[in-house]
Structure 1
Amino acid sequence: MVKSLLDKDNCALVFVDQQAGLAFGVGSEDRQTLLNNASGLARTGKVFGLPIVASISATKVYSGPMMPAVHRYIPEVVPIDRRSMNAWEDDAARNAIIATGRRRLLVSGLLTEACVTMLALSAAEEGYEVFVVGDACGGLTPQSHELALRRMESAGILMTSWIQVLLELQRDWTRHDTYDGARAIVEDHAGGYGIGLAYARDMIKPS
C-alpha cells in the first residue's frame, strides 16, 4: 500500500503518445479539456523539476509528432520514437525511464486502453510504483476508458488527476521556490479554482 505523498524527489513523469492523430479518436472526454490537462501536467513537471520522458509512435503513418500545445512547455524533452504499442517493450523508451533513477512513475497518454495500460502494467510488473493521471489520458469511449482505468487499478496501479499531482507536490503555498510557477499553472489550467486564485490576487487587498 502506498503511504507516502508524491514528492518532486521521488517521481518521474512519463508521457506516452500525446499525439494529435490519436487525439482525433478520443471520445472519453472533450479533447480541449484533455489537452488542457496534459499541458497543465507538463508545466507541473517542469516547475517541480521532475525527470520527464516522452515517447511517441507511428509518427509518419498516422499519429504525427507530440502535440505542440503540450511539448511547448517541455521543449528540452526529445520524444522517443518507437514501433511497439507498449513503450516498456521498446529498449530506448524503457531505458530512458530507468535512467531517471525514479521508481515512482506518473503516466499520461493516449490511448488509455492501449499504450497507457500496456506501459503501466509492464512497469508495475517490474516493481515500479505507477500512478496514472487519469484526466490527462484519453480513451476511445467513456466506457472503454473507465474499464481500462479499472483494470489498471485492480493490478495495484494508483489513479490520480493532474491538479492533485500539482497540489501534492506543492503542499505548502509558502514554498516560495515553486509558488509563482505552481500558481500560474492553476490560474491558467484549473478552471474555477484558477479563476478564484486570480480574483484573490487582483481584488482582495490586505487592510
Structure 2
Amino acid sequence: MTFRNGLNSLLRPEDSVLLLIDHQPYQLANLNSHDPHAVVNASTGLAKAARVFGVPTVLTSVLAARGGLLFPQITDVFPGQEVIDRTFINTWEDKKVVDAVKATGRKQLIIAGLWTEVCVAMPVIHALGDGWDTTVITDACGGVSVEAHRVAIQRMIAAGANTMTWLALAAEWQRDWARTETAGELTEVLSQHAAGSGIAYFWEQQLLNTPVSA
C-alpha cells in the first residue's frame, strides 16, 4: 500500500531499493537541463548514501558498447557488482531488471537516471502502474533541455510518483542523528558531495578544534 501522508509515507532504508539507470557518457553529452558536473556529483552522493544505509542498488545501462559504461564514480561505489545492460528503452520492460528489484523484497522503489524524459519517465510510470511506491531523485537525473526535464517531472508526479533530491533522501533515511551506526559515514558523504553543507561541516570542525584564548 502506498501512503501519501503521515510517518509511513517517509522513506526508510530497510524498505528501500535504488535503481540507477543509464548514467552513461552518451546521455551526459547531451544533458542540458543541469550542470553535468552537478548531476555526476548528485548521482555519486546518492550511490554512496545507499551504500551507507545498506540499500540494495540495481545498476543498469543501455547499449553500453555504443553509449559507454556507467560513470566510474558510481561503479566504484559498488565494486564488482554486475551492471545489467539492456536493449529496452523502458527499463521496466527488461525482466532481468525487474527480477533484480523484486528479489530485494523491498517496497519503496527509488529511481534516478538519464534522460529524465525517456529512460526515467517510462519505467517510473510503468512501475507505478504495477503498484510500486516510486520516488524519483530529481537532481540525479537530467534531460536534453530544461523543458524536457521539467515536463517529465510533472508527468511523473501526475502519474503518482514522489520527487525529492538526493540530500533530502539521505536525511530521510537517517531520520535521527542519534542513529550513530550511520551518522558518521553519512557525514563523510555529505562532506564530499553536499557542497556548502560539507564545507560548513569542515568549518565547524575547525572552530571546535581551535583552542580558546586565555
Q: TM-score range by the shorter chain?
A: over 0.9
Match of 1:204 in 2: 208
Please provide the CA RMSD for this pair: 1.3
Distance 1:204 1:125 in 2: 51
| 8 A Cα contact 1:52 1:77, kept in partner | no
Pick the aligned partner of 1:28 from 10, 33, 36.
33
Whole-Å separation in 2 of the counterparts to 1:106 and 1:54 = 12
Contact 1:11 1:106 in 2 (8 A): yes
Q: Following the alignment from structure 1 to structure 2, what is the Cα–Cα distance between the partners of residues 192 and 80?
A: 35
Where do 1:73-84 residues align within 5 Å? 73-84=77-88
Residue 161 of structure 2 corresponds to which residue in structure 1?
Answer: 157
Aligned-pair CA distance for 1:113 = 0.6
Q: TM-score, normalized by length of structure 2?
A: 0.93
Give, in whole Å, the separation in 2 of the partners of 1:43 and 1:69: 10
User: What CA deviation, in whole Å up to 9, does each residue of 1:37-80 have, x standing for no partner?
Assistant: 0000000000000011111111112x111111111112243110
- Indicate the residue corresponding to 1:180 in structure 2: 184
Would you say 1:59 and 2:61 are equivalent positions?
no
Return the match for 2:195 from 187, 191, 204.
Answer: 191
Q: Which runs of 5+ in 2 are unaligned?
A: none
Identity among equivalent positions (%) equals 33
Q: Rg larger in 1 or in 2?
A: 2
Task: Answer yes or no: is 1:8 the counterpart of 2:13.
Answer: yes
- Where do 5+ consecutive residues of structure 1 fail to align? none
Task: For 1:70-109, list aligned pairs within 5 A.
Answer: 70-109=74-113
Displacement after TM superposition at 1:202 (Å): 2.5
Q: Report the AA paired with residue 62 of structure 2.
A: S
Give the aligned residue type for 2:14.
D
From 18, 28, 45, give the equivalent of 2:50.
45
How many angstroms apart in 2 are the aligned matches of 1:176 and 1:148?
A: 37
Provide TM-score, normalisation by structure 1.
0.96
| Distance in 2 between residues matched to 1:18 and 1:176, nearest whole Å | 31
Q: 1:32 to 1:147 in 2, by over 3 A?
A: same
